[in-house]
């Protein structure tokens, strides 16, 4: 941690900050510059409430030096983690992991049909929401446990791993019974109780980045799960809120090399949520693979015009199959397979 | 709902959209413009999944006409709602409601001391976190039920209404036993199960806006609570994520006139979270009152340098008392009282 | 400047950075922490290209310590600057400076009428665009020099200082002949040649913050003008681009205490551009004064429905007069006058 | 244009809006819905100041139907434009256009060396700033005309097209004498006089998107150039300002399919400015090609640690050559060449 003092700071103010640092069990180096004095703090600053020091007299600002997460960090584990999906496949290795399916489970027939189609096209996982977080209370909220049963049935039929969202601590046990991978949605990335509860299961966890989370916050959310004892976390970028209006979310693909540098965890991209428009999805699938993503999670619907949720961003099984073929060529170009 | 068709659209495509509209139980007006054809849809569009139409051939985009919320809307209830805090005071009337206290409950003595100080200064509610949502798993997570007991004790001692956060559905029953007002934090604004659970209690609810929520989403979150049977919702703006770095969050005070125009619910401002820096808090308290806010919720700590959470943005009881005096003059200038 | 090295950095990499620092004429302190080594650099870092060091082997990141501006800084001049408007009035002292007028000069009669009205209401400056930066090439672009003549005439008639925009280096001489205050618009805040050209005139300069400029960039733009020899710079906040849609721009009033802390220059608020909606303007005028703004610049039009530009955010002379009365009470409450 | 009226609107208010619409030479359809009345306006709305109608009594909001640009639109020209670079090569066809070079021209030797290297690697254009827009007045501002001479010399030596920035109307004539392609930087995207001045030259123009410009504003800026008589505009995305901190700018690659849908103009990506970190550049080059970009503009420097500008985001000639090889494979995978 670096404490930058204001110009014209008094010696007593410097001494006071030094005392606060020592009280916290850390050591300090006071460096008198030509314009400013800075105090470099040595020791593990993670448990400190950094901000508190800002309120000490004469302090201009406080800058952290250490990344706030630890177990999620590449410093702690240098080789990339390979996370099992539960059906014998995995994400994080040479093979690009493709997960696809409808936004919501709408009916048994719909689901089985799409499951076969995406499996055929090359998917290893089946996505589908049984519990749906809906901004609007008047819209379809999912089929609940009935939807989970249909997902399990689709797994039986296809061998695909089931990836589905868990919306609260009270659902973890139920969803874990049916799902191979627990999805934590963007609205719940900061739901720390849910992170811990998922961290106490044996299921792999797909953690979506919050709409406006920083990279540090994203990796700290993963840290909660890892710390609770579950090493199997898959990160997923699904777009952030910005001023842009031609997309529903802005998809920042530079997070792929950033995550690869900072963490050992694999990262998937969700180009459906990440753009909000079906016509953009194939291009962003290709771009994600080219940038080094470990996989994709894509919304596929046989009849998007009549989809109960997310119709605007769902692609048809035909478009998905074509997109996978394109992605296979890109994967090969970057030394991977699909 | 307005469906804008692409240029050069075929009649069959128009007919198809008309059919989809009628299938949904709505009526249409087709308007052929000089460059574009638009289809105006008449009827309650709230239950429709608007996006799905975007996937129909020849559609350029779909624009909603109706606000997505209803019960929270000023169209449904024209006079402003006055929400009781539970201790005989209320928010939403002529009197500005001041809620203050520490970010976290740290100890019995700390809390009682601050409670007396803020009561003395003019507060009607006491804030204080017993369960703390912390981005960093290595930092102080709150005292839990012990903290709730201390809050109840502070209410006994001062008569202040207790405002404290509930972080999950499983905590609603427990927190409701101690708190007068249930606070739903910014990270949980989209936690729809929690919204419904709080909507089923008898407690007033303080709903904080999500970091990157739109105004529509904010009012839809309130709608979830109202719809569940609880009419007592207080909105609270606490800053949004933007590119700005001299603040921890950007505090958009224009939301005050916007909420007053769209909804009957009262709105408080949290200038502590809303800026992240203690030195900005008094100015933003004054500005909020001047802009028409119904109250403030402010972090006050007797020793911010040693605060376990949010030290950087906590003001001392002395600064709080001085700020209240300034706000009283502003309130008078805009025809209100403190 | 603080250079944070990666974990596991080699001694040769540290030596190399030290060499680079010394080559730049600066000195270093190497601090070996428990997890990271940091190199604190002593000396004036402003002329350094900080980023270049990031490319050196073993460097994780580089953090500046000094503010990048100097002359605009409160460290260099502690007392607030009072900037003359040219008609005997000034901005930055006890009196709140009110500048008002139409977005564009549309006709002689329109301008004179509004000028009298805003003068009557308490304005000291008249705003009005003769050269209009329009996003859309098909819309009204301003009356040009004819508009400047009308502004000068309105000054004759009312004694108001004329504040008008200069859009390029080639207009500086012409606009300076008519205007008392040169306005640099948000789209030109980063137009460094224009900043320098205005800095070489004798006119005061009203500098609007760029849509997405940081505070540092804003003060650096002021620094360009000050450095060119012109001490008379008035800062103006006019809203930033965010994800919010109920406003055209998000108006971040916390910039007022931030500017007061970092700089001696006065700051005005533009609540018209800063919100985009006439109905929000009075509330944000009051809030700005309450937060400590040195003045306001407001769009006023006698017939907003027919305004050639910015009709949606223009208030009528009657609303303006009422708003000034409210602001006078707020000003008094914070120890100032209008 | 769609005018949405408030609930409970009076007939006289509807009649008034109808009159305003007719006065503007347009026609209206009044549609009475179950909750709202909307007025659909037929005719070319581009010359209207839409906002003004918002101020009419009873109006809730106004929504445009037509895209505000015309000549830049794919509706007007369906086949993609191929823009000549001036040295026999072009951008917008099957071949990916690679433009590379130093951020700033620093010396004759530096430039020639890099020019040969990037040509060798496959570039068709040489970038290099002679006039540099610098946020900080204390930093290197470019070599000016001397830099232009060096660029011309490098063209002689290599056959590369010279792409360099023009910062103001007064530089257009000078820069046009040396450059093949005039670059308009992100800070000048809204500098309408400069857009027009470049539109009046015979040079192709590389137009960078503003930091916080919308897609509509970006295409309207292109429209200014096209309207002035110059059909040769190349769009360039270089990242936007968001809350993200692990990058200097967020690079939104979904703009590629969006531009392809809305406009016939080609689009390049600048992954150097678009991320701010050299280590991310190769991944984002590959992703851009995979997403359908027509080319790249990349900062390449032989000694980034000592670069006078943008060292942190410059890659070495070796990394560039390797990146081009990777991009060639991606290009092939999407049916293009490098």
| Identity of the residue in C136, C193, C312 whose CB atom sits nearest the CB atom of D54 | C312
- Chain A CB contacts of D244 under 8 Å are 214-215, 240, 252
Q: For chain B, first and last CA: distance in Å?
A: 44
Cross-chain residue pair D68–C136, CB shorter than 8 Å: yes
| Identity of the residue in D33, D43, D63 whose CB atom sits nearest the CB atom of B63 | D63
Cross-chain residue pair B40–D38, CB shorter than 8 Å: yes
Interface membership of D220 toward A (CB under 8 Å): no
Interface membership of A315 toward D (CB under 8 Å): no
Mean pLDDT, all residues of chain D: 94
What pLDDT is recorded for position A47? 67
Buried b (16+ CB within 10 A) or exposed e, A123-145: bbbbbbbbbbbbbbbbbbbbbee
Interval D20-44: pLDDT, tens: 999 888 999 999 988 899 999 988 8
Per-residue confidence at C7, pLDDT binned at 50, 70, 90?
confident
What pLDDT is recorded for position D133? 85
Interface membership of C2 toward A (CB under 8 Å): yes
Preferred mutation among B333, B334, B335, B336 to probe C, highest tally of C CBs within 10 A: B333
What pLDDT is recorded for position C47? 67
- Chain C CB contacts of A40 under 8 Å are 2, 29, 31, 33, 38, 40
Tell whether the model's pLDDT for residue D198 goes beyond 70. yes
- Chain A CB contacts of C4 under 8 Å are 65
Q: Which residue has the tokens 């201390």?
A: B150
Per-residue confidence at D310, pLDDT binned at 50, 70, 90?
confident
Cross-chain residue pair D279–A261, CB shorter than 8 Å: yes
Distance from CA of C65 to the nearest CA of A (A): 7
Cross-chain residue pair A54–B312, CB shorter than 8 Å: yes
Cross-chain residue pair D252–A261, CB shorter than 8 Å: no
What is the distance between the alpha carbons of residues C211 and D304, in angstroms, rounded to a whole number? 31
ipTM field = 0.95
What is the distance between the alpha carbons of residues C313 and C304, in angstroms, rounded to a whole number? 8
The contacts of residue B145 (CB under 8 Å, 6+ apart) are B130, B174
* Average pLDDT, integer, range C51-72: 88
- Chain B CB contacts of C288 under 8 Å are 287
Cross-chain residue pair A55–B170, CB shorter than 8 Å: no
Q: Please identify among residues 70-129 of chain B the ones whose CB lies closer than 8 Å to any CB of chain A.
A: none
Tell whether the model's pLDDT for residue B51 goes beyond 80. no
Q: Where are the beta strands (DSSP E) in chain B?
A: 2-5, 27-32, 37-42, 59-63, 83-84, 90-91, 97-101, 125-127, 161-165, 181-184, 204-208, 233-237, 267-269, 295-299
Preferred mutation among B68, B253, B336 to probe C, highest tally of C CBs within 10 A: B253
CB-based burial label for A165 (10 Å; 0-12, 13-18, 19+):
buried
Q: Which residue has the tokens 């004819």?
A: C146
Interface membership of A35 toward C (CB under 8 Å): yes
Any idea how long chain B is? 338
Interface membership of D256 toward A (CB under 8 Å): yes
SS3 of B220, please?
A: helix
Sign of CA dihedral A71, A72, A78, A82: positive
Q: What are the helix (H) ranges across chain C?
A: 11-23, 50-54, 108-121, 145-158, 172-178, 192-199, 215-227, 255-262, 281-291, 317-333
Cross-chain residue pair C2–A33, CB shorter than 8 Å: no
* Average pLDDT, integer, range B64-81: 91
Higher pLDDT, B1 or D197: D197
Structure tokens at C273: 């551009």
- Chain D CB contacts of B29 under 8 Å are 29, 31, 40
Interval A177-187: pLDDT, tens: 999 999 999 99
Per-residue confidence at C133, pLDDT binned at 50, 70, 90?
confident
pTM for this predicted structure: 0.96
Tell whether the model's pLDDT for residue B136 goes beyond 90. no
Interface membership of A330 toward D (CB under 8 Å): yes
Interval D3-23: pLDDT, tens: 999 988 999 999 999 999 998
Per-residue confidence at B226, pLDDT binned at 50, 70, 90?
very high
Per-residue confidence at B293, pLDDT binned at 50, 70, 90?
very high
Q: Compare all CA atoms of chain B with the CA of D61 and give the residue at the minimum distance.
A: B65
What pLDDT is recorded for position A246? 96
What is the distance between the alpha carbons of residues D74 and D78, in angstroms, rounded to a whole number? 5
Distance from CA of D61 to the nearest CA of B (A): 9
- Chain C CB contacts of B250 under 8 Å are 240, 242, 250, 252, 254
Per-residue confidence at B135, pLDDT binned at 50, 70, 90?
confident
Cross-chain residue pair A250–D258, CB shorter than 8 Å: no
Report yes or no: B96 and B334 within 8 Å, Cβ to Cβ: no
Distance from CA of A276 to the nearest CA of C (A): 15
Interval A82-98: pLDDT, tens: 999 999 999 999 999 99
Name subunits touching D (3+ CB pairs < 8 A): A, B, C
Distance from CA of D109 to the nearest CA of A (A): 33
Quick one: which H or E segment has residue A179?
Answer: none
Q: Please identify among residues 273-312 of chain B the ones whose CB lies closer than 8 Å to any CB of chain C.
A: 274-275, 279-280, 283-284, 286-292
Q: Compare all CA atoms of chain C with the CA of A240 and give the residue at the minimum distance.
A: C243
What pLDDT is recorded for position B45? 78
- Chain D CB contacts of C305 under 8 Å are 20, 52-53, 55-56
Q: Which residue has the tokens 């329009």?
A: C134
Interface membership of B137 toward D (CB under 8 Å): no
What pLDDT is recorded for position A281? 98
Candidates D236, A7, D333; CA nearest to C73 is A7
Q: How far is CA A88 from the centre of its chain?
A: 22
Report yes or no: D72 and D80 within 8 Å, Cβ to Cβ: no
What pLDDT is recorded for position B305? 86
What is the distance between the alpha carbons of residues D155 and A217, in angstroms, rounded to a whole number? 48
Report yes or no: A239 and A251 within 8 Å, Cβ to Cβ: yes
Interval C151-163: pLDDT, tens: 999 999 999 999 9
Per-residue confidence at B17, pLDDT binned at 50, 70, 90?
very high
Interval B183-224: pLDDT, tens: 999 999 999 999 999 999 999 999 999 999 999 999 999 999
Name subunits touching A (3+ CB pairs < 8 A): B, C, D
Candidates A91, A48, D131; CA nearest to B305 is A48
Cross-chain residue pair C55–D278, CB shorter than 8 Å: yes
Cross-chain residue pair D257–A279, CB shorter than 8 Å: yes
**Measuring CA to CA, how many Å separate A273 from each of A160, A255, D142, D240?**
22, 16, 43, 19
- Chain D CB contacts of A337 under 8 Å are none
SS3 of B278, please?
A: helix
Cross-chain residue pair D252–A256, CB shorter than 8 Å: no
Interval C251-292: pLDDT, tens: 999 999 999 999 999 999 999 999 999 999 999 999 999 999
* Average pLDDT, integer, range C243-250: 96
Q: Compare all CA atoms of chain B with the CA of C261 and give the residue at the minimum distance.
A: B279
Cross-chain residue pair B283–C256, CB shorter than 8 Å: yes
- Chain C CB contacts of B245 under 8 Å are 214-215
* Average pLDDT, integer, range A139-168: 95
| Identity of the residue in C34, C35, C44 whose CB atom sits nearest the CB atom of A34 | C44
Per-residue confidence at C131, pLDDT binned at 50, 70, 90?
very high
* Average pLDDT, integer, range A101-119: 96
Which domains does chain A show, CATH number per domain?
2-63 (3.30.70.1140), 83-333 (3.20.20.70)
Interval D44-99: pLDDT, tens: 877 667 778 888 889 999 988 888 899 999 988 999 999 999 999 999 999 999 99
What pLDDT is recorded for position B86? 93
Residues of chain D above pLDDT 70, percent: 99
What pLDDT is recorded for position B47? 67
Interface membership of A243 toward C (CB under 8 Å): yes
Quick one: which H or E segment has residue A84?
Answer: strand A83-84
| Identity of the residue in B35, B44, B63 whose CB atom sits nearest the CB atom of D34 | B44
Candidates A325, A330, A302, A335; CA nearest to A109 is A302
Report yes or no: C36 and C4 within 8 Å, Cβ to Cβ: yes
Distance from CA of C333 to the nearest CA of B (A): 5
Q: For chain A, first and last CA: distance in Å?
A: 44
What pLDDT is recorded for position B8? 87
What pLDDT is recorded for position D47? 67
Q: Compare all CA atoms of chain B with the CA of C212 and give the residue at the minimum distance.
A: B243
Size of interface B-D (CB pairs under 8 A): 61
Tell whether the model's pLDDT for residue B137 goes beyond 90. no
Residues of chain B above pLDDT 90, percent: 83
Distance from CA of B153 to the nearest CA of A (A): 27
């Amino acid at each position: 941690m670096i404490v930058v003092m204001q110009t014209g700071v008094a010696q007593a103010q410097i001494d006071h900050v030094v005392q606060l640092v020592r009280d916290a069990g850390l050591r300090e180096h006071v460096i008198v510059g030509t314009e400013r004095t800075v105090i470099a703090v040595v020791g593990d600053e993670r448990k400190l409430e950094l901000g508190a020091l800002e309120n000490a007299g004469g302090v201009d600002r406080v800058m952290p030096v250490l990344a706030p997460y630890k177990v999620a960090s590449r410093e702690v584990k240098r080789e990339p983690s390979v996370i099992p999906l539960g059906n014998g496949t995995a994400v994080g290795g040479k093979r690009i992991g493709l997960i696809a399916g409808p936004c919501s489970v709408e009916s048994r027939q719909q689901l089985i049909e799409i499951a076969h189609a995406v499996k055929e096209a090359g998917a290893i996982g089946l996505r589908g929401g049984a519990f749906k977080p809906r901004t609007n209370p008047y819209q379809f909220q999912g089929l609940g446990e009935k939807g989970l049963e249909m997902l399990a049935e689709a797994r039986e039929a296809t061998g695909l791993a089931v990836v589905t969202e868990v919306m609260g601590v009270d659902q973890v046990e139920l969803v874990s019974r049916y799902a191979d991978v627990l999805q934590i949605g963007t609205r719940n990335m900061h739901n720390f109780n849910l992170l811990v509860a998922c961290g106490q299961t044996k299921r792999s966890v797909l953690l979506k980045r919050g709409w406006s989370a920083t990279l540090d916050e994203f990796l700290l959310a993963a840290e909660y799960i890892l710390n609770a004892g579950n090493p199997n976390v898959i990160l997923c970028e699904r777009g952030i809120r910005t001023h842009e209006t031609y997309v529903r979310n802005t998809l920042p693909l530079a997070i792929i090399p950033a995550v690869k540098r900072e963490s050992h965890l694999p990262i998937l991209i969700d180009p459906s949520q990440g753009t909000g428009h079906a016509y953009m999805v194939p291009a962003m699938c290709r771009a994600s693979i080219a940038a080094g993503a470990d996989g994709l999670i894509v919304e596929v619907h046989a009849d998007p015009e009549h989809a109960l949720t997310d119709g605007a961003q769902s692609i048809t099984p035909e478009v998905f199959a074509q997109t996978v073929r394109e992605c296979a060529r890109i994967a090969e170009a970057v030394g991977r397979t699909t």
